[in-house]
């Protein structure tokens, strides 16, 4: 063993140190690139998820708007039915029929305008 140690030259030691240093720098660079790649991959995944959430949010808002519109339309139809029934029952309630007709025109105008 001592012969082996005695036969090691300064150039071999320097080569070994340079090799270890290069290996250290290579591992450090690889670690840095791996970290950047993982960060980029996670950012892309989060961006994709954000787009999906945004799309879902827009769809939910559209469904809510449609639900409100349908509720208003059904309410209006029921009020029309009540006015007709009252008119048929009393044969004299044309004022209520005229008011309901105005409400229907107002609703249809709002739908055409897109309010």
User: Among residues 51, 113, 47, 108, which one has the least CA distance to residue 76?
Assistant: 108
Average pLDDT over residues 96-114: 76
Neighbours of 100 (CB within 10 A): 19
Residues 45-88 pLDDT 10s: 999 999 999 889 999 999 998 998 888 888 888 888 877 877 77
Asked if residues 103 and 76 have their Cβ atoms less than 8 Å apart, the reply is yes
Domain span at 11 = 2-113
Average pLDDT over residues 93-108: 77
- Calpha distance 40→7 (Å, rounded): 50
- The string of DSSP codes covering 39-62 is HHHHHHHHHHHHHHHHHHHHHHHH
Residues 10-51 pLDDT 10s: 888 889 899 999 999 999 999 999 999 999 999 999 999 999
Tally the domains of the chain. 1
pLDDT at 30: 94
Tokens of 47: 């961006």
Average pLDDT over residues 96-112: 77
């Amino acid at each position: 063993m001592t012969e082996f140690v005695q036969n090691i030259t300064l150039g071999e030691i320097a080569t070994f140190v340079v090799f270890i240093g290069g290996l250290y720098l290579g591992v450090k660079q690889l670690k840095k690139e791996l970290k950047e790649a993982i960060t980029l991959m996670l950012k892309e995944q989060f961006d994709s998820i954000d787009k999906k959430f945004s799309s879902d949010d827009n769809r939910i808002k559209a469904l809510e708007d449609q639900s409100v519109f349908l509720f208003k339309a059904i309410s209006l139809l029921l009020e029309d039915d009540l006015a007709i029934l009252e008119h048929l029952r009393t044969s004299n309630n044309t004022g209520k029929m005229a008011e309901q007709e105005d409400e229907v025109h107002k609703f249809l105008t709002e739908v055409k305008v897109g309010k």
